[in-house]
Structure 1
């Protein structure tokens, strides 16, 4: 099903760790790259099911954990499948299932269901995990969604508490061949390090 000539690059990490900033830098390096985001199917699907990210956030927080897990897995897979139908040689995946499945696990999702869904997802050729303290992320973001706060009130305290648990859960996903980068580097330096790792 998946074209082996393509390179799947995953940029993952907790909310506010700088994933989008790094991806924007990589897209300047490889202008032909296709960015895949879960928002591809949640916000831009045919018929505009959701009016925007806030509407998605409200909907996600209405679902119970396993239902939300299945919904997010479908949205992620559908977005990747769309990219794989294109002729692009480089696909950059924003956050990927790592972040969303880790989030749902922290919120109480069935671990066996999480593991099964994870086994159905394609394995990226290169994965970069951005490391950043939640306290600094809270300052960087300034505005939060309830989902980023564990479907609780969108406050800095809830954001920091949930993201701290999310980062701990990431340890169960991290593999030895992943590149872990400190997001406190300047964006240009971070992009240079990422390009070097991807090009190896």
Structure 2
């Protein structure tokens, strides 16, 4: 069984940057790594050829007309597909980008029932390690060159800040409950990479 590591955090917290960087470090050490992110199905030919969506913009257009519970089912399905695609490569380590955690928090911020959404997520296994990159909503906004309607609560910059604060509060609760390792997302990226790589459990054969 591979060691499963999640890089959690809100929008613009540096998740994708760290997933790529930690992946490179592990590969340099001769470890087989697979990355898993919610958009992976769009890049898998056997799946993408059968999807009604050509790109992310079309997915976001579909998400906008859904309500939180139906939207979460779609998003969680995409996360599960990404995990399965990663596992198919028989890696030693799977690096999860956001996992279900971000989308749970976001849908709660959109007004979804937390108990129902948590029930939806009950089939997802808990990673061996979750590192939570924390940044303020103000920092997240300053990092965003473009904001999707979805991550902005379908509003303007002020709505983005309130929406991200709500989402972050939910993530903070998950962190306390599940014992995540919290990291300052504004720290030096190389330092963060080294910290995350060093924390990966022995199963990763570091």
Alignment TM-score, normalising by the size of structure 1:
0.90
Q: What pairs with 1:175-190 in structure 2 (closer than 5 Å)?
A: 175=177, 177-190=179-192
Q: Which runs of 5+ in 1 are unaligned?
A: none
Partner of 1:128: 131
Which whole-Å CA distance do the structure 1 matches of 2:108 and 2:61 have between them? 19
Of 48, 55, 59, which residue of structure 2 is paired with 1:56? 59
Moved more, 53-62 or 17-26: 53-62
CA 1:43 to 1:103, structure 2 compared with 1: closer, same or farther past 3 Å?
farther
Q: Is the 8 A contact 2:151 2:164 kept in 1?
A: yes
User: How many pairs align?
Assistant: 194
Aligned structure 1 segments of 4 or more residues deviating by more than 4 angstroms = none
Partner of 1:29: 25
Deviation at 1:111, TM superposition (A): 2.5
Question: What is the root-mean-square deviation of aligned Cα atoms in Å?
Answer: 1.6
* Number of the residue aligned with 2:122: 119
Q: Counterpart of 1:171 in 2: which secondary structure?
A: helix
Q: CA deviation digits over 1:126-179, x for unaligned, max 9?
A: 0000000111111111211011112x13x3222212111100111231145311
Partner of 2:196 in structure 1?
Answer: 194
State the TM-score, normalizing by the size of structure 2: 0.88
- Counterpart residue number, 1:159: 160
* Alignment check: 8 A CA contact 2:9 2:102 kept: yes
Counterpart secondary structure, 1:173: helix
CA distance in 2, matches of 1:109, 1:169: 12
Greater alpha carbon shift after TM alignment, 35-44 vs 140-149: 35-44
The structure with the largest helix share of the pair is 2
State the distance in 1 between where 2:128 and 2:13 align: 21
* Contact 2:104-2:118 within 8 A present in 1 as well: no
Q: How many Å separate the matches in 1 of 2:108 and 2:139?
A: 23
Cα distance in 2 between the residues matched to 1:52 and 1:188: 31
Which residue does the alignment assign to 2:8? 12
Equivalent-residue separation in structure 1 for 2:36 and 2:183 (angstroms):
21
Q: Which residue of 2 aligns with 1:41?
A: 41
SS across alignment from 1:75: helix
